[in-house]
Copies of this chain bind each other. A is one copy, B any other.
C-alpha cells in the first residue's frame, strides 16, 4: 500500500496557502519553488485540490491559488481523497465467485467478509485523518517553532504573494 508523493505535497501547499493575507494568491510555480518540487507535477495536484473545492483558482497573469475554506474546515482526509481519489485501497475483485463449479448468485448476496473487514479498517483510517485539520497541523508546528520556520515562510510570501481582488 502506497500513497503517491502528491499527498505530502498537497498538504504542505494547503498549509502554505493558509498563511496568505486577505486577497492574496500564490502561483503553482512559487508553491513548487518553496517545496523544492516539480511545477508540472504539482499542478496536477493543485487541480485535484481545486476540483475538490479545497482551493480556489484565480486565473490570469496575476492569478494563482488560495484556500476556498478555512484551515479549520480542511482535514487531512479531504486532501488525501482529493489527490488519491475516493476509491478504497482494497478493491474486491470478487474472486470468491471465480474458479470451477461456480455457485448460484444467492451465495454472494452478502458482501464478502474479507472485503467487509478490509473496508472496516479503511474506515478507521479515514476517521483518524478526518480528525486532523490544517489548523491542527499549523498549531502543532507553532508549538515547536521558535519563529524561524514562520519567518522563512513569511519572507517567501513577501516576495511571491500576488494581490488580487477577492
Contacts and interface: CB of A to CB of B under 8 A. Distances in A.
A103 B34 CA distance: 12
Interface centre among A96, A99, A125 (most CB of B within 10 A): A125
Interface stretch (A21-29, A48-56, A64-72, A114-122): A114-122
Interface centre among A7, A114, A145 (most CB of B within 10 A): A114
A73 interface: no
A116 B114 CA distance: 29
B121 A125 contact: yes
Given A2-B1, A100-B34, A12 B149 contact: no
B156 A110 contact: no
Nearest to A125: B125
A135 B120 CA distance: 17
Contact of A117 (B34, B116, B132): B132
Give the dominant DSSP class at A's interface: helix
15 contacts: A2-B2, A2-B89, A7-B118, A12-B95, A12-B96, A34-B100, A36-B98, A37-B98, A89-B89, A107-B149, A117-B136, A121-B126, A121-B128, A124-B128, A125-B125
A8 B161 CA distance: 48
A90 B7 contact: yes
A137 interface: yes
A48 B80 CA distance: 29
Interface in A2-29: 2-3, 5, 7-9, 11-12, 15
Contacts of A117: 76, 129, 132, 136-137
